[in-house]
Amino acid sequence: MKSRKVKLPELVGKGYKDFWNFKGRYRVCKGSRASKKSKTTALFFIYSMMKYPGANLLVIRKVYRTLKDSCFTDLKWAINRLQVNEYWDVKESPLEIVYVPTGQKILFRGLDDPLKVTSITVETGNLCWAWINKFSSRRQKINHFNCWKIQTSKVVDNQQRSYLTM
């Protein structure tokens, strides 16, 4: 695989340097509507999976059916934007994105069926990251927070890394 130099500000604009350079456990990307949170997060994960062989990603939203038109599409956009299409296999049924050179996977789940979020594993490497999209909204903060807190207790209790976009 040939390497190419990518300049982040040219891809997503300015304002996300701290997000990309953050070294802590929880990476939270906050902002208003159309602030490039999901695009930046998608670019980060595609780049990171290519950089770290064996790292896999689980993408979670409250409702599974909303994943295809949100995070899934953002990740396909990131693959196109980074011009690495030939290295990725994108499947729509079920939603899954595979990094072909290593077999790493991006899996998608919704909390509308909580049992499908338990005991998830991958064939190659480890499930290293969770991108929890739309963690809460101001109108329904208590309801959403309670739902996420129950379903992601391991993440909340510092047992694994999580990446949230709000």
Is the backbone of residue 119 left (phi > 0), alpha (psi -120 to 50) or beta? Answer: left
Length of the chain: 166
Residue 111 tokens, joined: 């909390």
Stretch 40-66: mean pLDDT, rounded? 92
The band of 97, judged by pLDDT with boundaries at 50, 70 and 90, is: very high
What pLDDT is attached to residue 144?
40
pTM of the model as a whole: 0.77
Compute the mean pLDDT over every residue in the chain, rounded to the nearest whole number.
78
Return the residue matching tokens 């695989």.
1
